Chain A
């Protein structure tokens, strides 16, 4: 079993829709939960991160972490064609000087105008 599971999609939605992207994980040591966005032919870039449980909002994006269920989500409100990309969840434990990050496989999102 992979430490981090993510549905690869693709997910296709109309412009303006609310998008929900999700990951599950098995390692209880994970305390940092990140979402990276990767446009075609580009490297991933950090969208937002959450430390431990709870919600975090940044503009149209909301990240949620439910540690009891080992489940994290990214919501995109009023989705735009420019949101079309692959979204990677990523997680990291607290211990150790080096912060090892485990990535999900990514969900490809297409927002149709």
Chain B
């Protein structure tokens, strides 16, 4: 079974703090993703990585950065947390697409519910 784990289920931080969210996958997937999930807005892509040390901005990268030093680990960093970053953060991983007609499932972790006070 594919397993994607996230370092914390619940996290409470103060405005201005630097926050690290860690994600680890055990299936040797090349692709890794960070999403945030908010009521009425659904899942929105923050950043993704298709290889070690490679990263691409998603739809809402402002206020976030990422790090991928090892294939199995993808970190999301909030440089200076703000209250509008209170959300559920979901990490996912997948193989790269091999053929035009294929869809490679994204496997999600359980999420980290971050509250910024």
Contacts and interface: CB of A to CB of B under 8 A. Distances in A.
A99 B105 CA distance: 10
Contact of A105 (B4, B9, B40, B105): B40
A43 B48 CA distance: 17
Contact of B97 (A34, A97, A105, A106): A97
The binding surface of chain A is classed by DSSP as: loop
Question: Which range contains the number of A residues in contact with the other chain?
Answer: 20 to 34
B108 A44 contact: yes
Contacts of B31: 98
A103 B43 contact: yes
Given A46-B105, A97-B96, A99-B103, A88 B42 contact: yes
A42 interface: yes
15 contacts: A4-B42, A32-B103, A43-B92, A44-B108, A46-B106, A51-B103, A94-B100, A97-B96, A98-B50, A99-B103, A100-B45, A101-B45, A104-B42, A105-B39, A106-B42
Given A46-B105, A94-B100, 15 more contacts: A8-B40, A41-B111, A42-B111, A43-B4, A43-B92, A43-B111, A45-B107, A51-B101, A88-B43, A98-B50, A98-B56, A99-B104, A101-B106, A103-B43, A105-B39
- Which 5 pairs, one residue from A and one from B, show the smallest C-beta to C-beta distance? A43-B108, A105-B42, A103-B43, A46-B105, A32-B103
